[in-house]
Amino acid sequence: MGEHPRPAGRTAGVPLRDPAHPVSRRAIGLWLLQGVIWTAILTLVAYLLAGWIGNASWLAGGAGDNSWLPGWVAGNIDLLPWLTGIVLLGLTVTESLWRYATHRWELTGDVVYARSGWISRDWVFVPVSRIQTVDKAQGWFERMFGLATVEIRTASHAGSSTIKGLDYEVAAGLAAELARRAEELRDDAT
């Protein structure tokens, strides 16, 4: 049997595999908190919408007549906020755990690998030689959990790549190491 041809777009020096390191477990708490906040906001909107629909006599022309809705919906409109909250809380828990299971990163000698996403997934391979700047960011929710984000900017059309959910110390070390390696490669090229 002969050798299989290399898939189109695959380069010799970059193996296509999953990155080695998961993000911090504390990222689950961060994503849960963010999801709970959005769940509360959207549940409040559902509560206001249910109240508006329940009192929307002006829409149908008669007092309390919601003939524009099926009878079972109009009769149970008060359940809308409850259903919204329950469904969104379930999605929040699922999303947080799934994101933790899929978000990974790795720095090898010459490439930064990152995988993210929970519905659609993105695999990013950034050659260290293409890095222009490396930033470490920490929003106030991230600061509460001791987490940070590393943002890697390159000259490519894709722009920048981010690795979210890293322990602050890991993010600081990664940013420093990437900056050092990129500087060494620039010095070697001159």
Provide the pLDDT confidence category of residue 136 given band limits of 50, 70 and 90. Answer: very high
Contact between 152 and 160 (Cβ < 8 Å): yes
Q: What is the pLDDT of residue 66?
A: 47
Express each pLDDT in 68-127 by its tens digit.
666 677 678 889 999 999 999 999 999 999 999 999 999 988 889 999 988 888 888 888
The pLDDT mean for the chain works out to 83
Separation of alpha carbons 162 and 30, rounded Å = 16
Please give the DSSP secondary-structure letter assigned to residue 78: G
Q: Is 155 helix (H, G, I), strand (E, B) or coil?
A: coil
Amino acid at 25: R
**By the 8 A CB rule, do 138 and 27 touch?**
no
